[in-house]
């Protein structure tokens, strides 16, 4: 077989399906799912194996064990938690009636205790019940020296749902408020709390991530080895930090998605969101809307910013598919005829977020996983908006558009 020569840049010359013009550097990400939604231990290990194989898509520093971060998002491993906590005489409620928080605490003991107190106070303020705390077993020997210096204390906390008054969706929104309030309570201490971060808090999903090399992720979190640790879906991500410095909190996945590429309009979109604070209202969140500001968390990456905005829409009653179509509208103007309803929706969604850059995103809602890019969205968004179940949940986010009817027409 004839050997394929390389060009002066070191890339092979175009051959077959390969074209050196398509070379680029970005994160590696993806998802795996059991199509029958059956939790299996194999899904966890398959996801970790793929992350391992994506090692070439990440960056490594001068410290050979320091990378930009890797992680997986999975369904709550209910069987594992149930059997683990029963050893401490703790009986968990049924699935959906409790939430699990994954948290990075400050490494300094006194600061960690203050953060724990803030979490417990936020839970109490929202009339929910703390079940217990759990130390997450990790193997720090796989961390680089430069990473160990700022490695957090990793814990989990469990919250019981008020079954008498809350549906699971209402409980999810309470968990959203609790997560936001944890940090706000600490900020009153007039100190920098960048070393405190609630990774995830949900009744359906949990995130395991950190500044570890992709091949070491499975070694770092010891829980992965337990056969009772199961999931039906897994989102995974190997980070290549391009526009931000690597950090524990910016490793991915985030709470609803993982992202590959760059969004070049981060500051503008953050300012747009902040400008809507006093004109926005929600028939779903109601008075809780004021408790979650600022929507965009401090010093996020472009991916984290997008996740914050997407979370607001989902928590306000939009379905995940509807929210994603609003966040990444189809490039529709040169694609032939469109209904007035579709055009109205796309015009109005331009006021939510304005994207510039190459973006590929995988998203989930614990039951459904999907992927979207700027140029490959499905059409017919007006049909989704016209669905009676898809009412407009957040008023004021379409600013300066005043009203959008069910057909998608701007009034």
Structure tokens at 57: 């898509």
211 closest CA partner among 69, 91, 322: 69
For residue 324, give the nearest of 360, 288, 282, 292 by alpha carbon: 360
Q: Rg of the chain's alpha carbons, rounded to an integer? A: 22
Does the active-site annotation cover 27?
Answer: yes
Q: Which residues contact 325 (CB under 8 A, 6 or more apart)?
A: 349, 377, 378, 381, 384
CA angle 234, 238, 239 (to 5 degrees): 130
CB 43 within 8 A of CB 49: no
**Given 27, 132, 182, 258, which residue is catalytic?**
27
DSSP letters, 56-72, are GGS-B-SSTT-BS-EEE
ω into 400 cis (within 30 of 0): yes
End-to-end CA distance of the chain: 66
CA-CA distance, 210 to 161, in Å (whole number)? 29
**What distance lies between CA 39 and its chain's CA centroid?**
20
CA distance 28 to 101: 26
344, containing H or E segment:
helix 340-349
Question: Quick one: DSSP state of residue 135?
Answer: E
As a whole number of angstroms, the distance between CA 268 and CA 354 comes to 8
Backbone angles phi, psi at 291, to 5 degrees: -80, -10
Give the catalytic positions in this structure: 27
């Amino acid at each position: 077989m004839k050997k394929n020569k390389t060009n002066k840049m070191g890339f092979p010359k175009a051959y077959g399906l390969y074209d050196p013009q398509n070379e680029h550097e970005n994160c590696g990400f993806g998802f795996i799912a059991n199509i029958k939604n059956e939790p299996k231990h194999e899904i966890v290990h398959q996801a970790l194996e793929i992350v391992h194989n994506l090692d070439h898509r990440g960056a490594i520093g001068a410290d050979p064990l320091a990378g930009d971060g890797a992680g997986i998002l999975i369904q709550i491993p209910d069987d594992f938690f149930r059997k683990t906590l029963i050893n401490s005489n703790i009986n968990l409620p049924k699935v959906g009636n409790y939430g699990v928080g994954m948290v990075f605490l400050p490494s300094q003991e006194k600061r960690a205790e203050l953060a724990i107190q803030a979490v417990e106070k936020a839970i109490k303020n929202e009339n929910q019940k703390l079940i217990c705390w759990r130390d997450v077993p990790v193997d720090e020997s796989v961390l680089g020296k430069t990473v160990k210096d700022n490695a957090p204390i990793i814990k989990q906390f469990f919250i019981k749902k008020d079954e008498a008054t809350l549906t699971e969706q209402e409980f999810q929104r309470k968990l959203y408020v609790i997560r936001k309030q944890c940090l706000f309570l600490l900020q009153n201490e007039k100190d920098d709390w960048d070393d405190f971060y609630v990774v995830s808090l949900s009744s359906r999903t949990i995130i395991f991530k950190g500044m570890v090399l992709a091949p070491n992720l499975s070694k770092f979190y010891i829980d992965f080895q337990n056969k009772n640790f199961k999931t039906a879906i897994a989102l995974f991500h190997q980070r290549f930090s391009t526009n931000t410095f690597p950090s524990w909190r910016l490793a991915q996945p985030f709470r609803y998605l993982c992202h590959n590429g760059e969004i070049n309009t981060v500051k503008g979109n953050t300012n747009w969101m902040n400008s809507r604070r006093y004109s926005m209202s929600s028939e779903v969140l109601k008075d809780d809307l004021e408790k979650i500001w600022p929507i965009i968390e401090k010093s996020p990456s472009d991916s984290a910013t997008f996740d914050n905005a997407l979370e607001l829409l989902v928590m306000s009653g939009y379905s995940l598919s509807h929210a994603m179509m609003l966040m990444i509208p189809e490039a529709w103007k040169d694609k032939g005829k469109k209904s007035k309803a579709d055009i109205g929706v796309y015009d109005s969604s331009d006021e939510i977020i304005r994207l510039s850059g190459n973006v590929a995103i995988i998203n989930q809602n614990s039951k459904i996983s999907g992927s979207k890019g700027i140029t490959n969205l499905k059409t017919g968004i007006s049909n989704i908006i016209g669905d009676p179940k898809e009412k407009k949940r957040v008023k004021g986010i379409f600013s300066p558009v005043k009203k959008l009817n069910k057909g998608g027409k701007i009034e």
